[in-house]
Every structure is written in C-alpha cells, then in structure tokens.
Amino acid sequence: MSKIKPAVLAVVALVAITLPLYATPYMLQIATTTACFAMLGLAFGLGMRVGLPRLDIAAWWGVGGYATAVLMEHGVSFWLTIPAGGLISVIISFLVFSLALPRGMVAFFVFSMVIAMAFSQVFGSLSFLGGWGGITGVPSPTIFSFAFDTQNRIYYLGLLFVVVTIAVYLAFYHSRIGRAWDAITSSPRLAGSVGVDVVRYRMVNILVGSFFIAAAGSFYVIHYHAAIPSVFSFTAGVNTIAYLFIGGFTHSLAGPILGAFIVTFIPEYLQFAQTLRPIIIAAVVIFILMFLPAGLLGVWDNKIKPRLAARPPERRE
Amino acid sequence: MSLSLFFQILINGIMMGGTYALVASGLTLTLGVIKVFNFAQGHFLMLAAFATYAIVVALGLPYWVAVIVSFCGMALLGMLIYFGIIARTLRHGFFNSMLATVFLATIIEQGSVVTFASQTRTLPVVVKGTAKLGEVTAPYSRLLVIGISLVVLIALHFFMRRKVGKAMLAAAENSDVASLMGINPNRVFWMTMAVGCGLSGIAGAIVAPVYGAYSSMGSVIFSRALLVLMVGGMGSMSGALAGAFLIGILESFAFQFLGYWNLLVVLVLVGVLMYFRPGGLLGKPMPLPGE
Amino acid sequence: MALLEIENLSMNFGKLQALSGLDLTVSEGEILGLIGPNGAGKTTFFNLVTGTYRGSGGRIVFKGEDITHLATHKIAQRGIARSFQQTFLFAHATVLANVMMGCHIASAVGPVKELLHTKAAREMDTRARKTALEIIDFMGLTDLKDEPAGTLPHGHQRSLGVAIALACRPTLLLLDEPVTGMNPTESAEMVARIHQIREKGMTIVLVEHAMDVVMGVSDRIVVISLGSKIAEGRPEEIKTDPQVIEAYLGRRGTLDVA
C-alpha cells in the first residue's frame, strides 16, 4: 500500500510541473484558480485537525485580497502585502476567537459565521475598498525586474504558494503540536487531562490558518487582477468547504486538493450555465454528505483500498 | 428627536423583532431538539415571501390565505427535507447535517436568483391606513406584522406545553432517554422541523408586504437570527425571544443614525456582550454533542 | 506529609447537592481508597480535583498550592493524573500513540524547534517513545502497542487509560474504578500493578466498587455518603463500622462483598 502513495504523488507533481507545456491558456487559468481554492481547502482541513470547522474563511481571504489590492494601488510591493494582510487577519482572528474559543464549539461556529458575514458587508460598503464594484486593475507582482505577468508565471507562483502551504502544514502535523491537535480532535477531555491546553492549541491552529487564508487571498487578487466583494462573500467562502468534503476531510492534505480540482476543473469542461453551477455543486455536496460522508477519498479508504490489499501479493522476481 | 419619530423607529424595531423572533425560535427549536443548525432557516422565509407575492399579486387571493399557505407549505417542505436529507445525514454527525442545510440554502438562494432575478417583488399594503394616538402614528400594516408575530409566538408557547411540545423538549434534553419513555424520536424530529420551517414561513408572509420579496433576504435575516442566538443564548427559546426584540430595536435605532453601518454597530455591541456574558442574556453556553 | 488537602469542598448541580463540606487529606506515598454507595459523589470529587468541575465552595490544596480554580491542563502539568470511569481514549490512534500523548507534558522543546524538527526535538521524541514503551510493557499491553485503541477489549482499554495517566509522570494518581468490568485475573494483575506504582514513588487515590479489591490494596479508606465523609480509617476498622454498613446496606451486618 505504501507503494501507491509516493507513486501518486510523483505523478501529480510531474503533471503539475509540466502543465504549461501542453495545456491551453484557458486550462492554465483554471489550474491556477484551482491552486487558489486548494489553499482555502487546505486551511479548512487545518481547522478540522482540531475539530474546528472554519466558516470564517471568506473573511480572511477577503482581508488578504483587499490588503494586496489596496497596497499595490499605492505602489507597495506584492511580497510585502502578503505579511500585511496576514498580520491583520491574525490580529482580528485573535481578538474574535479569544471570545469564542473558551465558550465552546457552538459559540465558535456562530462567531465564525458572523465574522464572515460582517466582513462580506464591510467589503462592499467601504468606498475606499471600491464599494460593491471592488478594485480592478491590480498589477502583476514583480521581483526586481522580473514580472509575473504571463499566465505561465502566475501558474508557477500559485504552485509555489500551494507547495509552501503544504510544507508548513506538514511541519505542524508531524510535530508535537500536530499530535496535540489530533488529541484534541479525538478527545478534548482526555487531551486536557494529559496537560494539553486545548484552547491555546486551537488558537494556534486558527491563527496559522488565518495567515495562510489571507495569503491565498493575496494570490487570488493578483491572479484575477481584481478584488471584488462577491468573491469574498460568506456564501462563496462556505462553498470552498464543499471542496474539502467532496475530497474527503480525513485526508487533510489530499482531500482539499482533490476536491478543489474536481470542483474547479470539471464543471468548466461541462460548461453549464454559470448560474446553475452553484446549484449543481451544492446538490453534489448534499449527495456526498448523505451517502459518502467521508468524501471520495473516504470511498477509496473504505472500499477500494481493502480490496487491493486482499489481492494476493505480486511475485517478486 | 420628536416623540413621533421615536415611536416610528420603535415600531419598526418591534416589527423586525417579531420577525426575528419567529425565525430564531424555529432555529433554536431545530438546534435544540434535532441538534441540527438549520442554515436554510432564513431561506424558508424568503420562499414564503415569494409565495405570498405569488398568491396575493398573481393569483389575487386574500392575504390571510397567503399566510396560511406559507405556514403549511414551509412546514411541509421542512418535513420533506427532514425525510429526504436530514434523516440520512444525522447519523453522520452534527456538522454533516449542518453543512447539508448550508448547501440546501445555496440551492434555494441560487434557484431564486435564477428564477426571479435580482428584482425585488413588492406587494400591495395589506391594511391601509395609519393608527393615531396623540402625536404618535403607526401604519396599520406594521402593527399587523407585530400582531401576527405576537399571536404566533403565544401560540408557540402554549404548543410547547402540550404533549407534542413536551415531547420535543424531552427529546431535546436527551433523545435516548426520551425514546425510553415511549417518545418516537423520528416523529418528534420531523414535527420539529415542520414547526421550525413553518415559523419561518409565517415570518416570510408577514414581512413580504412591508419589505417585498427578494432573493437575498434569506441570508440577511439569517445573519440577524445568528446574532439573536448569540445574544439570547443557544438553545434557549425565551432567550431567542428577548434577543430578537432587542436586536430588532437596536438595529432600527442604529439605522436611523448610521444607515447601513448599523449592522457593524450591532455586531460590536453583541461582541462586547459576549465578552461579559458568553452564555447570552438568558442561556448557558450549549455544548455540542460529543463534548 | 500531606500531599493533597481538601477543605470543606462542596459542589452542587442546581438543586442537587453532590458534595457538601468534604474534608479529606491524602498523605504522600499512601494508597487511599475512596468508597461509598452509588451517587455518593466520588467521581464528582475526582472531577473537582482535576479541574473539570468548578466547585461551589471549599479549597483544594496540592503540595501546598491552592489549585481550586485552576484549569484542567494546568493541574495536569502540576502532577495530578487520572484514569476515567468512562473510557476516554484517543480511539483512532494506536496504543503507543495514546501513551505517548501522556508524555506530552514532559517532552516540551519549544515550538520553533518542534516545527523545524531539530535534533533536540527528535531526541525528545525518542525519549518519549522509550518511556511510553516501558509503561506499555509495565501494563502488559506490549503485544497490542500498534493496535488502534478503539479496537481493544474492555479490560485492556481500562489498562490503557491507566497507562496514559502514568505517562504523565504524576505525583498523584487518581484511579476511577480501574478494575470495573475486569475478570478476576485481570483484576489481580491490576492490583499488583497498583502496588508497584506506589513503590515507584507515586501517591494513589482510588475509587472502586469491588470491596475486596479496595480493602485489599488500600492503606487507608475514606467513606463518602451523600456528599460528605462519614468514616475514615484502616480497612479492618471500616469493615465493621456500623455507620458505613448502614450507608451501604441499611441494616446491621458486616461488609464482605459490596
């Protein structure tokens, strides 16, 4: 079984790296968008690692996006806008969730929903953020004289963002902090008993997630060269949760990526009317919630993998 | 500020408070009994508002027909959704069911956008004229909203005392113990869902003549309902009641002075309240199943 | 020397008075048995000591420090560990991973070093693993170390619960019904281990319904009924104390079997 995982990984990596060689520009653009949504899905997965469903994703996504858009309008380098947006997100997250986390799960839910709805409202209402039309004409990022102004370059930048995100999350998951997180999800009561400060560890998780969600927002905005309130709306944010669920949230890394891929790529090729797409995606998610609660990777885990293991081992020559 | 203006704002606030109370009660009921956070609670209101429009304007039937159809229609829809979706997702956990309602809400809202576009449908005033008490005036249409919501809330109160209502409360406390007492949890659950959605339905019917029917009203009202739950305490019916009127009145006054910034102000105030009284005004912090 | 001092501890759930004015002292190095009829307040007492519940009055002093209002994880960090009446385990993790979690407190290196997986972090990990394996061995769970905790039979799950508590290297170990549901062989093994744990220097308070076990293993016994202490003393004294017998049986007699 351990032969499959590295093999799949290698194939995926290969395809991802060589994509610009054979993909159409349109396909590349979608791939870049997929990378974006994958980052959001990964952050949601991070939250689920401590048993916290992050309905507030849209808020920080928007903060990162708008921070980048506004600062770049004033000539700030893209690379500085990332920590700027990230820092704002982290600070506000800390303030809001210090109220919510000690009060329990339901409080957390409601707070995160409310904060996302509030930000949706704020993004559209403030005139210096461009009102409901948003900010357009966001320039491409540059390093010295090298500009990320072609689709290829942006795609690779996106890939880099995803890889860095995954690397950081992995470092956490395989550390003592990650083990504490797993303990908290498994049994908060027992975790507290062995000395784990549940609230503190959850807060760390939230803050890390908020930072990376903001970073995803920063990237999104230079990919589409615009920051528009409807993109960062609460409902849009909630839809990113769909990706994780379709993929399967028991796999914090593979699940969101698979889900993001399915949700972004496939409908484009089926070319349904834009307005019907959310309905179809929503219906698919409901189907999965009802019948495949562990997502597609769950089907793999529970149905396909055991069958493969039961086959007689291949002969070694 | 003149007395007349003050009362106008107050009446508006109580009116919205009554509406929020209906929606929040339904939400609390569903949350407490079935342990499902019905994200689509506001969207049933929206559907009912459109239905009311259709019945009154397109079909030309009297308003009271629309109110009754809204209640029954949404109750029926709630029941169907329970059997169709929730019954299945319940066994997969709280979050599963909640997410299912989230996406249901998406379907309903998108469906509405596709069918009705972004235009608000307005309805004719149900009761023309204005009441006058000295300097204070209040349009009958708004008083009607308050009236109906109060009647329904009182009816709900008595309903909870009847056998079915008590069964719901028992199941809310502990559905295993309740079933040992001979209460069929499945039956209680679909009835709860029906009542919860029905309440939203009535709310939609009464709010439609005042504010019209538009696709995003579901989310807008739901976000207020969330605030109500925070303020009143999760799982507390009386808290939802108190919280609803509080939020409604607060919002109304804030709108008068700050326009569309009122939501932010309300949010900040709720945040402050949460700091000092995390369980809300009357409720206690409600643990999720599994804590 | 008094390790744990309970002064006038009370706890009520609304109108229900679970504990009223409990006074208790646990001396260092002893094995104290806590017995009493069902609902007397024994598990409530444990929950109060570990900070899971907030009492409505009284004081809890551990090693001279007032821990009455301290949070659970802080109390755990100060050296009080417990096993649970209901089985709380990290169900999807292996037995080894479960016990290693217990070592969590002791193996802190610092977050940055942790994330970078530095040598120091990895060494800590190795040490934690070694300690965990020793404890697993001690509790007789070595064969099962790689099994998911949730798949273990009941008796082994309880042993695992004790193992997790031991991994915290506590000064005071609270055992909540450690042998309930075990067969006589497993029971006897657990009793032997309890003695060995005390020999390693830990103080133990145990709650148990199996009278023969409690009487056999405890140095001293405290009897709780309806939320307060009604007797304390050596097992032989308690067995024949008329108040205790009345609390349990409601009539005169002797206590041989619960």
pLDDT tens string for chain A (317 positions)? 456 677 878 888 888 888 888 878 888 888 888 898 889 989 988 998 888 888 899 999 999 999 999 998 888 888 899 999 999 999 999 998 988 888 777 778 878 888 888 888 888 877 777 777 778 877 888 777 777 778 888 888 999 999 999 999 998 988 888 888 988 988 888 888 888 888 999 999 999 999 999 999 999 999 988 888 888 888 778 777 766 677 777 777 888 888 888 777 766 665 666 667 778 878 888 888 888 877 777 777 777 667 766 655 544 43
Instruction: Judge whether C188 and C5 are in contact, CB under 8 Å.
Output: no
Element (H, E) at B96: helix B94-116
Crossing angle for the helix pair A277-291 and A254-270, to the nearest 10 degrees: 140
Q: What is the per-residue pLDDT for C202?
A: 92
Whole-number Å distance between alpha carbons of A233 and B19: 25
CA contacts within 13 A on the Cβ side of B151: 10
Q: Which residues pair with A226 in a beta bridge?
A: A136
Q: Mutate which of A177, A190, A301 to disrupt the C interface (most C C-beta within 10 Å)?
A: A190
Element (H, E) at C118: none
Q: Which residues pair with C225 in a beta bridge?
A: C228
- Exposed / middle / buried, residue C252 (Cβ in 10 Å: 0-12, 13-18, 19+): exposed
| Contact between A194 and C102 using a beta-carbon 8 Å cutoff | yes
Q: Which of A138, A151, A148, A165 is nearest to A231 (CA)?
A: A138
B99 inside domain: yes
First to last CA, chain B: 50
Query: Please, which residues have CB within 8 angstroms of residue B244's CB and are 6 or more apart in sequence?
Result: B17, B18, B20, B21, B24, B228, B232
Q: How confident is the model at residue C187 (pLDDT cuts 50, 70, 90)?
A: confident
Q: What is the per-residue pLDDT for B15?
A: 93
Q: Residue A242 gets which letter from DSSP?
A: H
C113-128 mean pLDDT? 76
Residues of C in contact with A190 (CB under 8 A): 84, 88-90, 101, 164
Closest approach of B168 to chain A, Cα-based (Å): 21
Q: The tokens 């208790």 sit on which residue?
A: C24
Neighboring chains of C (3 or more beta-carbon pairs < 8 A): A
Q: How confident is the model at residue B14 (pLDDT cuts 50, 70, 90)?
A: very high
Whole-number Å distance between alpha carbons of C173 and C206: 8
Q: The tokens 């927002």 sit on which residue?
A: A217
Query: Please, which residues have CB within 8 angstroms of residue B200's CB and are 6 or more apart in sequence?
Result: B22, B23, B26, B41, B42, B44, B45, B48, B74
Instruction: Judge whether B182 and B28 are in contact, CB under 8 Å.
Output: no
Measured at the alpha carbon of residue A153, what is the angle toward residues A151 and A157, in degrees to the nearest 5?
115
Q: Which two tokens stand for residue C44?
A: 């409530």
CA contacts within 13 A on the Cβ side of C183: 3
Beta strand extents in A92-201 (DSSP E only): 135-136, 142-143, 146-147
Instruction: Judge whether B49 and B217 are in contact, CB under 8 Å.
Output: yes
Closest approach of B67 to chain A, Cα-based (Å): 28
B239-267 mean pLDDT? 86
Q: What is the per-residue pLDDT for A310?
A: 61
Amino acid sitting at position A301: D
Q: Structural domain tally of chain B? A: 1
Instruction: Judge whether C33 and C48 are in contact, CB under 8 Å.
Output: no
Q: Which residues numbered 59-98 in A keep a CB inside 8 Å of some CB on B? A: 96
In the predicted model, is pLDDT for residue B255 greater than 50?
yes
Q: Which two tokens stand for residue A44?
A: 């949601």
B278 inside domain: no
B243 inside domain: no
Q: What is the per-residue pLDDT for C60?
A: 92
Q: What is the per-residue pLDDT for B202?
A: 94
B223-228 mean pLDDT? 88
Q: Mutate which of A48, A93, A106, A241 to disrupt the B interface (most B C-beta within 10 Å)?
A: A106
Q: What is the per-residue pLDDT for C257?
A: 47
Q: Which residue has the higher pLDDT, A248 or C220?
A: C220
Q: Which residues pair with C207 in a beta bridge?
A: C34, C176
- Those residues of chain A whose CB sits closer than 8 Å to some CB in chain C are 171-172, 174-177, 179-180, 182-183, 186-187, 189-198
Q: What is the per-residue pLDDT for A273?
A: 63
| Contact between A276 and B114 using a beta-carbon 8 Å cutoff | yes
Q: How many residues does chain A have?
A: 317
Edge to edge, the sheet with strand C65-66 lists: C16-27, C2-13, C57-62, C65-66
Instruction: Judge whether C195 and C213 are in contact, CB under 8 Å.
Output: no
Q: How confident is the model at residue B282 (pLDDT cuts 50, 70, 90)?
A: low
From B95, which residue of chain A is nearest by alpha-carbon distance? A53
Residues of C in contact with A180 (CB under 8 A): 101, 104
In the predicted model, is pLDDT for residue C203 greater than 50?
yes
Whole-number Å distance between alpha carbons of B203 and B43: 11
Q: What is the per-residue pLDDT for B230?
A: 82
From A104, which residue of chain B is nearest by alpha-carbon distance? B287
Residues of C in contact with A182 (CB under 8 A): 90, 93
| Contact between A179 and C90 using a beta-carbon 8 Å cutoff | no
Whole-number Å distance between alpha carbons of A119 and A237: 11
Q: What is the per-residue pLDDT for A92?
A: 94
Chain A to chain C, count of Cβ pairs less than 8 Å apart?
84
Q: What is the per-residue pLDDT for A260?
A: 82
Q: How confident is the model at residue B175 (pLDDT cuts 50, 70, 90)?
A: low
Closest approach of A236 to chain C, Cα-based (Å): 32
| Contact between B291 and A242 using a beta-carbon 8 Å cutoff | no
Neighboring chains of A (3 or more beta-carbon pairs < 8 A): B, C
In the predicted model, is pLDDT for residue C113 greater than 70?
no
Q: What is the per-residue pLDDT for A309?
A: 65
Q: What is the per-residue pLDDT for C32?
A: 93
Q: Which residues numbered 213-252 in B keep a CB inside 8 Å of some CB on A? A: 219, 223, 226-227, 229-230, 234
| Contact between B285 and A107 using a beta-carbon 8 Å cutoff | yes
Beta strand extents in C157-202 (DSSP E only): 172-176
Beta strand extents in chain A (DSSP E only): 135-136, 142-143, 146-147, 226-227
Q: What is the DSSP track for A74-94?
A: TT--HHHHHHHHHHHHHHHHH
Q: How confident is the model at residue C108 (pLDDT cuts 50, 70, 90)?
A: low
Residues of B in contact with A186 (CB under 8 A): none
B257 touches chain A (CB under 8 A): no
First to last CA, chain A: 19
Q: What is the per-residue pLDDT for B290?
A: 36
B195 inside domain: yes
- The SS3 of residue C25 is strand
Whole-number Å distance between alpha carbons of A122 and A171: 35
Nearest beta carbon to residue C90 from set A177, A183, A198: A183
pLDDT, averaged across chain B: 84
Amino acid sitting at position C202: M
Closest approach of A82 to chain C, Cα-based (Å): 21
Nearest beta carbon to residue A104 from set B85, B270, B287: B287
In the predicted model, is pLDDT for residue C114 greater than 70?
no
Q: Which two tokens stand for residue A100?
A: 């919510």
B106 touches chain A (CB under 8 A): yes
Q: What is the per-residue pLDDT for C211?
A: 82
Element (H, E) at C66: strand C65-66
B86-113 mean pLDDT? 85
CB atoms within 10 A of CB C249: 13
Q: Mutate which of B103, B229, B247, B268 to disrupt the A interface (most A C-beta within 10 Å)?
A: B103
Instruction: Judge whether C222 and C192 are in contact, CB under 8 Å.
Output: no
Whole-number Å distance between alpha carbons of A219 and A65: 7
Neighboring chains of B (3 or more beta-carbon pairs < 8 A): A
Residues of A in contact with C71 (CB under 8 A): 192, 197
| Contact between B106 and A279 using a beta-carbon 8 Å cutoff | yes
Q: How confident is the model at residue B21 (pLDDT cuts 50, 70, 90)?
A: very high
Q: Which of B127, B141, B196 is nearest to B11 (CA)?
A: B141
Q: How many residues does chain C have?
A: 258
B64 inside domain: yes
Please state the φ and ψ torsions of residue C140, each to the nearest 5 degrees. 75, 30
Of chain B, the percentage scoring pLDDT greater than 90 comes to 28
Q: What is the per-residue pLDDT for B288?
A: 41
Whole-number Å distance between alpha carbons of A81 and A293: 38
Q: Which two tokens stand for residue A191?
A: 């975790």
The full set of domain ranges for chain A reads 26-237
Q: What is the per-residue pLDDT for B79?
A: 93
Residues of A in contact with B274 (CB under 8 A): 99-100, 103, 107, 111
Nearest beta carbon to residue C111 from set A177, A192, A195: A177
- Exposed / middle / buried, residue C242 (Cβ in 10 Å: 0-12, 13-18, 19+): exposed
Of chain C, the percentage scoring pLDDT greater than 70 comes to 91
Whole-number Å distance between alpha carbons of C117 and C125: 10
Closest approach of C120 to chain A, Cα-based (Å): 12
Chain-centre distance of CA C254, in angstroms? 28
Domain that holds residue B148: 15-217
A242, A245, A246, A248 alpha-carbon torsion, rounded to 10°: 150
- Those residues of chain C whose CB sits closer than 8 Å to some CB in chain A are 50, 52, 71-74, 76-77, 81-82, 84, 88-93, 97, 100-102, 104-105, 107-109, 111, 114-117, 121, 124-125, 164-165, 167-168
Q: What is the per-residue pLDDT for B70?
A: 92
- Exposed / middle / buried, residue C209 (Cβ in 10 Å: 0-12, 13-18, 19+): middle
Q: What is the per-residue pLDDT for A166?
A: 92
| Contact between B286 and A104 using a beta-carbon 8 Å cutoff | yes
CA contacts within 13 A on the Cβ side of A283: 9
From B87, which residue of chain A is nearest by alpha-carbon distance? A290
Measured at the alpha carbon of residue A69, what is the angle toward residues A120 and A121, in degrees to the nearest 5?
10
| Contact between B113 and A104 using a beta-carbon 8 Å cutoff | no
Nearest beta carbon to residue A117 from set B88, B114, B223: B223
Whole-number Å distance between alpha carbons of A237 and A231: 8
Q: What is the per-residue pLDDT for A121?
A: 80
Q: What is the per-residue pLDDT for A317?
A: 39
B227 inside domain: no
Instruction: Judge whether A243 and A256 are in contact, CB under 8 Å.
Output: yes
| Contact between A110 and B271 using a beta-carbon 8 Å cutoff | no
